[in-house]
Structure 1
Amino acid sequence: MSLTTLLTTSLLVSATLADQTFTINPSTNWGKWQGWGTSLAWWAKAFGTRTDLSQIFFSTNLITYNGQSVPGLGLNIVRYNAGACSTNTYGGTHMAVSPSIQPSRQIDGYWLDWGSTDPASSSWNWNVDSNQRTAMLNAKANGANRFLLFSNSPMWWMCLNKNPSGSADGSENIQSWNLQDHATYLATVAKHAQTSWGITFESVEAFNEPSANWWKANGSQEGCNFKVATQSAVIGYLRTALNNQGLSGMQIAASDENSYDVAKATWAGLTSTAKSQVNQIHVHGYQQGGGDRVGVYNYAQSGGKTLWNSEYGENDATGKSLVSNLILDFRWLHPTAWVYWQVIDGGGWGLIDGNNDAVTVGAVSQKYYALAQFTRHIREGMTIIDGGGDSVVAAYDSSKKKLVIVAVNWSTTGQYFNFDLSRFTSGVTNGATVLRWSTQLGTSGERYGSYASDTKISGTKFWSWFGSNVIQTFEVSGLSF
């Protein structure tokens, strides 16, 4: 028997005895994918003028960075923060500054004082926050096509203690007489962005983790607690303010709660009127492996609302946490978009290590390449389908008849994965090539390795060897069902 025959036989036996087989089910429909994104504040305040970084995050080109060729992530969603800070004094009143806040986390707001609602008056300054705006425009130039406006805190002068980091004890910090002003502020920014910046926000979000009690006067960033009843009121004011600006088609998102369980409780507590005015339910993924993802999804489905994970982040630079929680979201939350918090940050939080106050950037993390396994392949317009298991994500592009599979091996040992395509009615061609990309999760190892010829369909299946903590992406073309 020849060496080639021995190798072929060995592979066939390994595939037959594969540790796991996943049957892809194209008849499921967990939503049309709308995209991947990032929040701009705070990293964009520091690096908003860096065109190379914009290309890395928002294009799918190969970009030279620190002497290396880095595959662009192809993000298409920008989450723009309307700031809450200013240094002016008005009527003898000025902003109170938290002793713990870092300068990079103080985002200048446009409405400086309560003297006038007229955006052309001296109460407004449209020249501040130029770096974050530049980052947004650069993102658009590199392919971003969905823009969100959100607020961490109302303008400082709308706060009870004039501190946009929060109250002394973490309780609600917006003055009751400024609820409508907060809505007016966001609607005015949205209108100005459309007419002066060429940016039309898809949605406006008036809160950021509003039920949290950690938004305190000595906090490290902007933040504000809103009671659920107050949220309902602000949502109504925001709808009116947007309509008054001629933005009746602009959607409202709510409530960007920190966890899945709190998101459920907040949604249940909103008034029926407020719920009818919300178009998108946004939730953050900081509960990670816990929480009732299914419950949030059911609320969105029953209400006919779009569901996004609008913020996720952690300090695990290996990519293991990101991949684990992202797959859980695909499997149980079924969002149609997913947004990473800070693409540049220190302590493992960033996809690229950086210091937003020192304005320095460093290495690209393994987490970056792990995310690339998803973002470069699961693209806007694809349908998210059932990948057949808890370690597999699948998406189908009906226009290109292309199947994308992303899978990870969490076992401490290597193993073969079989992927069964028998539920596709045509295009499963014996011997056809399957494109493959691979990243090693951890502190080092393979980074988005590309393989164009080593994986073939045999019958209605194909298989691949997965080392421990390896994530791989596969593309199969020509499939129909």
Structure 2
Amino acid sequence: MHSKTLSILVVLAVACNPAAADQTYTVSSSTSWGVWQGWGVSLAWWAKKFGTRTDLSQLFFSTASTTYNGQSVPGLGFNIVRYNAGACSTNTYGGVKMVLSPNIKASRQIDGFWLDWGSTDPTSSSWNWNVDQNQRTAMQNAKNSGANRFQLFSNSPMWWMLKNKNPSGSSDGSENIQSWNLQDHATYLATVAKYAKTNWGINFESVEPFNEPSASWWKADGTQEGCRINVATQSQIIGYLRTALNNQGLSSVQIAASDENSYDVAKSTWSGLTSTAKSQVNQLHVHGYQQASGDRVGVYNYAIGAGKTLWNSEYGESDASGASLASNLILDFRWLRPVAWVYWQAIDGGGWGLIDGNNDAGTLGAVSQKYYILAHFTRHIREGMTILDGGSDSVVAAYDANRRKLVIVAVNWSSAGQYLNFDLSRFTGVTNGATVPRWSSQLTSGGTRYASFPSDTTISGTKFWSYFGSREIQTFEISGISR
């Protein structure tokens, strides 16, 4: 699985020299772009190998500093966990067994709980609740570290529900689920959700039955689990899922759909769902792989027009510097306006991971620059804050009413340094001379990493400013002010 900016939280702190700023940004106190629900990460695939590591859980799901590879690393404070209900098993039933892609990696084969079509009874021998132990352990560790929102999602239906019994896809990328198993797929997910609540102490807030279902690259020789599911079939499954959840006593569990790969495909899929299916979907989910392209505004308009909660439920790329992440995340804040944002692969190689690692070899490497860039957002824009208009495609702002605190995250994309000036005149209670703590990182691999400057920036009148070096991101916290 592998945009224009939101104004919500990037503010850059002051330098000692009171020189005139090159750019001035006025943060709106009145424009609300939603109440933030949080940040998160998907557990598959990294948790299959590393799910028992409590230090990694602390790094991802707490804001405490944790020792990793001999150094103290600030936790990202994710509160959202996406748990993947797998599609694989090694059993044979009725002379039939799973067909495995020749190119799939072991780390990307996630064991599923419903082994065969013999019985829907979760206590029968058709089910095995002992598999996928490491990913389940990772979910429990995340909860222990502070995670409070859990989502169940599926990359593919169980292998035996598929036409060719291959959970990587069909030979030509066409729809692969058997028509008589649509209800079974819904039953599977609802049963897992109920079992998790009863036996694991995990309450899934939502269930997402698809992953990039309109993509044409889910083929039998693929490298991971995946399944093409046409839009008309998606509508049917959504209906079955709502019934299955209700039958399990999970009427409060929401349905999310459809986790399409890009903003443009998400629009097309939403348009194609039946009115009944749309009414049964509570959360409109999209992935951010279109990066700087695509109609973010169009997706937002669909979501807000239909009264749906909007998440960017998966994002990732291979730029370890964090520059692409910061750019696309700010574009999401300003134009997509989701209320949650989820990274895909916390541990991976080739620049994809927040921590470099190999999920098959079980090796771990360095914390990437991208990790620290993301920390500028996740550690400061927290659940329950209201996202505001930061006044620029380079600024994100968020406000905590309970703590009377404004957070600004800002970026200087230029190769030349400049002062950025922040105008707080739309807020009340701004105190002349008040200190503004700031944090700074460079958007280049090997650059400054989340350096803290607690007292070198102060408010002058209703403004403050900070010097930004070449390609630098800064975060500011302004306390004691009101909207």
Aligned residue among 363, 366, 373 for 2:366: 363
Q: Which residue matches 1:5?
A: none
What letter matches 1:427 in structure 2? G
Shift of 1:113: 0.2
**Aligned 1:20-419 pairs, distance under 5 A:** 20-419=23-422
| Per-residue CA distance 1:417-455 (angstroms, 9 max, x = gap) | 00000000x221111000100011111111100011100
Q: Which residue matches 1:447?
A: 449
| Per-residue CA distance 1:215-243 (angstroms, 9 max, x = gap) | 00000000000100000000000000000
Q: Retained in 1: the 8 A contact 2:15–2:466?
A: no
CA distance in 2, matches of 1:175, 1:278: 23
Q: Which residue matches 1:474?
A: 476
| Per-residue CA distance 1:338-357 (angstroms, 9 max, x = gap) | 00000100000000000000
CA distance in 1, matches of 2:180, 2:284: 26
CA distance in 1, matches of 2:445, 2:476: 23
CA distance in 1, matches of 2:471, 2:342: 23
After TM superposition, the score normalised by the length of structure 1 is 0.97
| Per-residue CA distance 1:376-426 (angstroms, 9 max, x = gap) | 0000000000001000000000110000000010011000000000000x2
SS at match of 1:154: coil
Gaps of 5+ in 1: 1-7
CA distance in 1, matches of 2:265, 2:47: 29
Shift of 1:155: 0.2
| Per-residue CA distance 1:31-72 (angstroms, 9 max, x = gap) | 000000000000000000000000000010010111110000
SS at match of 2:17: helix
Structure showing greater relative contact order (alpha-carbon pairs closer than 8 Å, 6 or more residues apart) = 2
CA distance in 2, matches of 1:312, 1:138: 23
CA distance in 2, matches of 1:87, 1:427: 64
Percentage identity across paired residues of the two chains: 80
SS at match of 1:31: strand
Q: Retained in 1: the 8 A contact 2:190–2:245?
A: yes
| Cα gap change, 1:379 to 1:9, in 2 (>3 Å) | closer
Q: Retained in 1: the 8 A contact 2:435–2:458?
A: yes
Q: Which residue matches 1:4?
A: none
| Cα gap change, 1:239 to 1:11, in 2 (>3 Å) | same
| Cα gap change, 1:336 to 1:10, in 2 (>3 Å) | closer
Q: Retained in 1: the 8 A contact 2:369–2:446?
A: yes
| Per-residue CA distance 1:446-468 (angstroms, 9 max, x = gap) | 11000111000001100000011
SS at match of 2:406: strand
Shift of 1:9: 12
CA distance in 2, matches of 1:403, 1:278: 33
SS at match of 1:362: strand
| Cα gap change, 1:9 to 1:304, in 2 (>3 Å) | closer
Q: Is 1:462 the counterpart of 2:468 in the alignment?
A: no
Shift of 1:19: 1.4
Shift of 1:11: 2.5
SS at match of 1:393: strand
| Cα gap change, 1:85 to 1:10, in 2 (>3 Å) | closer
CA distance in 1, matches of 2:43, 2:358: 14
Shift of 1:212: 0.1
Aligned residue among 4, 17, 25 for 1:11: 17
Shift of 1:373: 0.3
Shift of 1:269: 0.3
What letter matches 2:209 in structure 1? A
CA distance in 2, matches of 1:306, 1:266: 16
Q: Is 1:437 the counterpart of 2:471 in the alignment?
A: no
What letter matches 2:312 in structure 1? N
Q: Is 1:427 the counterpart of 2:433 in the alignment?
A: no
Moved over 3 A (4+): none
CA distance in 2, matches of 1:10, 1:301: 43
Shift of 1:370: 0.1
CA distance in 1, matches of 2:280, 2:65: 42
SS at match of 1:30: strand
SS at match of 1:437: strand
CA distance in 2, matches of 1:468, 1:79: 36
Gaps of 5+ in 2: 1-13
Q: Which residue matches 2:9?
A: none
Q: Which residue matches 2:11?
A: none
What letter matches 1:119 in structure 2? P
What letter matches 2:337 in structure 1? H
After TM superposition, the score normalised by the length of structure 2 is 0.97
What letter matches 1:478 in structure 2? G
Q: Retained in 1: the 8 A contact 2:15–2:457?
A: no
Q: How many residues align?
A: 470
Q: Retained in 1: the 8 A contact 2:15–2:456?
A: no
CA distance in 2, matches of 1:92, 1:199: 35
What letter matches 2:363 in structure 1? T
Q: Which residue matches 1:3?
A: none
